Amino acid sequence: MKFIIKSSILFPKILLNYNCKEEEKSGSGPGSCSGASKDSKSQDTGPTAKTKLIPITTKFSEEPTDSESDSLRSYSTDSYSYISAFLNTGDASKASGSTFSSSNKDLAAMAGWIESLNFNEDNVKGAIYHIDNAMQKSKTNLDGIVYSGLGKEKNAQIANMKVGDTTTFKGYTSASKRLNVTGFFVPQGLEKNIVLKIRVPKGTNAIDMEKFANQENRKQYEVLLHKGITYKKVGEKEGSVSYRGTKIPVSIVEVEVTNPIDDSPRIDWKPDTMTSSEHKKEYDNSWKSAYDSVENGMKSITIPEKMADPFRRYKTRTISVGDEIEYTPDMYSESKTSKIVGFKPTTEKTPNGKIAYKVDAIIESGESVDLSKHKLRKERNRLKQNSIESIAQKAFEIALKSGSSSIKLNWNCPDSEKTGSGPGSCSGTSDKVESNESPLKSLPKVDIDAIKQKYRDSDPWGNNEAYHELSKVFIREQFKPTQGTQQPSYESALKTSIELMEENPKEFHDAITLGYTQDARDITKLLKEHPDLPVGKHYEYKGVDGIREYAKDLGVAIPKYYSNHPDFKEFNGQDNLEAIGQDVLTANTIEKMDNLFAKSKISDPITVYSGVDPRYFDTLPKDVGDQFEITSFISASRNESTGKGFASYALKQAQEGWSATDRSEWKPGQKYEGQEKTLIELQLSPGTKAIATEPAQAFAWTVYNKPDKWGPQSKIRNKETDSQEELIINRKTRFEVVGMKTSGKLKRLIVKTI
């Protein structure tokens, strides 16, 4: 049972040469099967073809420092837009926008606010400084090719070039080893989409970003070429790339790198030598000085730059009465401009009770603009708190946050539909909710201002910090659990998982949101083949020792490398560690899951349902009292209908000779001939290690928006909330058989945890 299903179009299965049709072979080594006929493939034939080149590889002459690695990781995830904007325009604030995308204006605005703190000019310069240093240490091993889908600005830069013309990209070039990946990055609405086919000579300063990318971004197969690179056009042909199953026509412009060694100017930046407390003292003194100047009648003041981080290095600016100021009236409105007609000294109370001195600008409307944020300063508590007007306003805010088009208020709600006494406590249904108070109500509220202050105090290069804080806000303020049977027990499990997610945000995101919900098939397959995989053990992927240790622990034979390509024959006969590299990454995802499950135990009994492959079902003990262990993680739902839906899906897959739960391919002779669906009813006792995924998935869909089309497994869900009401049960959980039932064409095994 999974929320996000990998599409075979986006993530094609690699066909090995030994099981490849003759007409599809492009070599004799592993991965030399294209999956397409010779007549229909080959990106290196035609008018621009020279010598067939392989995707490039790079090597560091010495390991990058921690700061260099952190900057590369950040570029791979969230800082690239700000870095590109600064290198191309000299202004990081002209970035294409927040990497956080949501139809919810509240969350999107907050994400933009956080990113504007994280990626100010000084931080962006620092990242460029460290990336340049890392780039000097890394070069390509051989000649090779990469592809880059061009955005609007670079498209215009390339579009009218003639063969022999040259052009220089001011910023770094993000490229991919795979042509079709560029389909994700070519913009819509252009008259002509352009993909660069870049011929990169041996010795070019470039970095293979795989080890710096998160699990999801590794699928981009990104190679970063140095900034200030100059390209010479050598040819052009028409072609296409695939994007989510759709062919996009593109012009493939072939270019050569003319300056392989990075000769671009170094960034004017030096590491900050002041401490956070020293910066904060300087920041406070700057505002106090401006405050005193206004008190003394000065019409011109020097203050910190807009949105300055008080705990880090920042610039100052001088503004005067008569200047124009750009400001935002509120979180949902576009910026406005007005003249400054005066200054107003003001004070604020900080979270620790101290007085902070500030200055507001008085604009032509007579309103005040907070000069530290350039936001209109609003008066509080304008509505009478006990009036019907204030109740309606509160209800409107709830509806706005939840995305709901209407909300019933308690005072105009039939008694049969009431679930409480406050605004929004009308369910809109006559179905009574179980009387037990929701365990989720005990979760403390989130202080948005405290979150913002935390960002001022925190490491700006924290991994996905904005995502994690936004998820906390969403879950505490907007998340509404799906209603159904065993509601108190289900919400108790949700509360446990929410607390786990908030205490371990990065681990939960990597292991569950990006891990199990996307790679369950790989995880299940690995545990099926290696049930004794050590619990909680991490294997270092960056070096060969970790891969060899993995092979030793599991008794896996490392295959030998073989290729008939002339540039790679020297490697033939050596251990091909990359052949099991993906399994090592999967094992490390399992390790992260192991660590989470060690901290997650449900407090209340709950029964969940898992539809399983009938061939697997037939291997399980059936006699009452029999005890057994399931070595893989179990995906189940508290909704029996959802469990039965997966039983139907598993039956269909089995009848066609496929597995519904892992990437194993059953042989044709193992096709299931029966017609009975198979369901396991799992009675979980308090203390069972399990994780509920609904809160994390609900937020992920708020951030990334729900898919336009649901995969076959994702269709099995609650149609109102798009939830599968899933609980994942820890691997190696032991069960005892309670009984067996058969009803029509459904066989049910009832078990309980022990």
pLDDT computed for residue 10 by the predictor? 27
More confident residue, 564 or 120: 120
pLDDT computed for residue 199 by the predictor? 96
The listed range with the strongest mean pLDDT (278-282, 476-480, 619-623, 719-723) is 619-623
What is the rounded CA–CA span in Å between residue 40 and residue 27?
16
Axis crossing angle, helix 581-597 with helix 517-529, rounded to the nearest 10: 100
Tokens coding 96: 């294409």
pLDDT computed for residue 77 by the predictor? 78
pLDDT computed for residue 111 by the predictor? 62
pLDDT computed for residue 251 by the predictor? 93
The answer, yes or no, to whether residue 634 has pLDDT greater than 50, is yes
All residues at 6 or more sequence positions from 392 whose CB lies less than 8 Å from its CB, including other chains: 409
Mean pLDDT along residues 581-586: 85
More confident residue, 733 or 431: 733
- Burial environment of residue 29 by CB neighbours within 10 A (0 to 12, 13 to 18, 19 or more): middle
Asked if residues 541 and 605 have their Cβ atoms less than 8 Å apart, the reply is no
The share of the chain scoring above pLDDT 90, in percent, equals: 45
Residue 515 per-residue DSSP state: I
What is the rounded CA–CA span in Å between residue 549 and residue 23?
39
| Confidence class for position 42, pLDDT limits 50, 70, 90 | very low
Mean pLDDT along residues 534-563: 83
The answer, yes or no, to whether residue 500 has pLDDT greater than 50, is yes
Asked if residues 440 and 491 have their Cβ atoms less than 8 Å apart, the reply is yes
At 728 the three-state DSSP class reads strand
Q: What is the pLDDT of residues 265-286, one digit of tens each?
A: 999 999 888 887 888 899 999 9
At 530 the three-state DSSP class reads coil
What is the rounded CA–CA span in Å between residue 19 and residue 3?
31
- Tell me the whole-structure pTM to 2 decimals: 0.48
Q: What is the pLDDT of residues 123-159, one digit of tens each?
A: 899 999 999 999 999 999 999 999 999 988 899 999 9
pLDDT computed for residue 691 by the predictor? 97
pLDDT computed for residue 437 by the predictor? 56
The answer, yes or no, to whether residue 5 has pLDDT greater than 60, is no
Asked if residues 202 and 140 have their Cβ atoms less than 8 Å apart, the reply is yes
At 442 the three-state DSSP class reads helix
Closest of 604, 607, 602 to residue 681, by C-alpha: 607
What is the rounded CA–CA span in Å between residue 545 and residue 541?
8
pLDDT computed for residue 323 by the predictor? 97
| Lowest mean pLDDT, pick from 258-262, 416-420, 669-673, 688-692 | 416-420
- HSE-CB of 748 using CA atoms within 13 angstroms: 16
The answer, yes or no, to whether residue 700 has pLDDT greater than 50, is yes
More confident residue, 93 or 422: 93
| Lowest mean pLDDT, pick from 148-152, 169-173, 389-393, 552-556 | 389-393
Paired residues of 247 in beta bridges: 242
| Lowest mean pLDDT, pick from 13-17, 143-147, 204-208, 440-444 | 13-17
Alpha helices in 430-561 (DSSP H): 448-457, 465-477, 487-503, 505-508, 517-529, 544-554
pLDDT computed for residue 415 by the predictor? 43
| Confidence class for position 653, pLDDT limits 50, 70, 90 | confident
What is the rounded CA–CA span in Å between residue 143 and residue 127?
28
pLDDT computed for residue 94 by the predictor? 79
Mean pLDDT along residues 102-119: 62
What is the rounded CA–CA span in Å between residue 400 and residue 406?
9
More confident residue, 35 or 492: 492
More confident residue, 346 or 467: 346
Closest of 664, 358, 620 to residue 527, by C-alpha: 664
Residue 610 per-residue DSSP state: E
More confident residue, 338 or 443: 338
What is the rounded CA–CA span in Å between residue 371 and residue 366?
15
Mean pLDDT along residues 546-550: 87
Neighbours of 354 (CB within 10 A): 9
pLDDT computed for residue 407 by the predictor? 30
At 141 the three-state DSSP class reads coil
pLDDT computed for residue 682 by the predictor? 98
pLDDT computed for residue 462 by the predictor? 35
pLDDT computed for residue 101 by the predictor? 55
All residues at 6 or more sequence positions from 420 whose CB lies less than 8 Å from its CB, including other chains: 410
What is the rounded CA–CA span in Å between residue 126 and residue 394?
44
All residues at 6 or more sequence positions from 419 whose CB lies less than 8 Å from its CB, including other chains: 425, 426, 427, 433
The answer, yes or no, to whether residue 743 has pLDDT greater than 60, is yes
More confident residue, 269 or 51: 269
Mean pLDDT along residues 206-210: 94
pLDDT computed for residue 357 by the predictor? 93
| Lowest mean pLDDT, pick from 245-259, 477-491, 575-589 | 575-589
Mean pLDDT along residues 5-12: 28
What is the rounded CA–CA span in Å between residue 265 and residue 271?
18
The answer, yes or no, to whether residue 430 has pLDDT greater than 60, is no
pLDDT computed for residue 522 by the predictor? 87
pLDDT computed for residue 234 by the predictor? 97
The share of the chain scoring above pLDDT 70, in percent, equals: 71
The answer, yes or no, to whether residue 687 has pLDDT greater than 70, is yes
Task: Compute, in degrees rounded to 10, the torsion defined by CA atoms 645, 647, 649, 652.
Answer: -140
What is the rounded CA–CA span in Å between residue 613 and residue 632?
14
- In what helix (H) or strand (E) does residue 587 lie, and over which residues does it extend? helix 581-597
The C-alpha angle with vertex 692 and arms to 689 and 696, in degrees rounded to 5, equals 135
Alpha helices in 458-511 (DSSP H): 465-477, 487-503, 505-508
**DSSP one-letter string for 77-135:** IIIHHHHHHHHHHS-GGGSS--S---S-HHHHHHHHHHHHHHT-HHHHHHHHHHHHHHH
* Ordered domains of the chain (ranges, CATH): 1-41 (no CATH), 47-257 (3.90.176.10), 276-376 (no CATH), 381-458 (no CATH), 488-504+600-754 (3.90.176), 524-598 (no CATH)
pLDDT computed for residue 244 by the predictor? 73
The answer, yes or no, to whether residue 474 has pLDDT greater than 90, is no
Asked if residues 637 and 724 have their Cβ atoms less than 8 Å apart, the reply is yes
Tokens coding 217: 């971004």
pLDDT computed for residue 498 by the predictor? 92
The answer, yes or no, to whether residue 419 has pLDDT greater than 90, is no
The answer, yes or no, to whether residue 312 has pLDDT greater than 70, is yes
Mean pLDDT along residues 437-446: 57
- Burial environment of residue 310 by CB neighbours within 10 A (0 to 12, 13 to 18, 19 or more): buried
Task: Compute, in degrees rounded to 10, the torsion defined by CA atoms 571, 576, 578, 582.
Answer: 160
All residues at 6 or more sequence positions from 712 whose CB lies less than 8 Å from its CB, including other chains: 5, 649
**Pair type for strands 355-363 and 368-370:** antiparallel
pLDDT computed for residue 54 by the predictor? 64
Q: What is the pLDDT of residues 352-362, one digit of tens each?
A: 567 889 999 99
Mean pLDDT along residues 631-660: 91
pLDDT computed for residue 420 by the predictor? 38
Rounded to a whole number of angstroms, the distance between the first and last alpha carbons of the chain is 24
pLDDT computed for residue 55 by the predictor? 66
The answer, yes or no, to whether residue 102 has pLDDT greater than 60, is no
- Burial environment of residue 62 by CB neighbours within 10 A (0 to 12, 13 to 18, 19 or more): exposed
| Confidence class for position 656, pLDDT limits 50, 70, 90 | confident
The answer, yes or no, to whether residue 392 has pLDDT greater than 50, is no
| Confidence class for position 668, pLDDT limits 50, 70, 90 | low
The answer, yes or no, to whether residue 744 has pLDDT greater than 90, is yes
pLDDT computed for residue 354 by the predictor? 75
Mean of the per-residue pLDDT values of the chain: 78
What is the rounded CA–CA span in Å between residue 118 and residue 99?
12
pLDDT computed for residue 667 by the predictor? 55
Neighbours of 360 (CB within 10 A): 20
The listed range with the strongest mean pLDDT (56-65, 463-472, 583-592, 628-637) is 628-637
pLDDT computed for residue 411 by the predictor? 31
More confident residue, 546 or 469: 546
- In what helix (H) or strand (E) does residue 727 lie, and over which residues does it extend? strand 726-729
Q: What is the pLDDT of residues 219-238, one digit of tens each?
A: 889 999 999 999 999 999 99
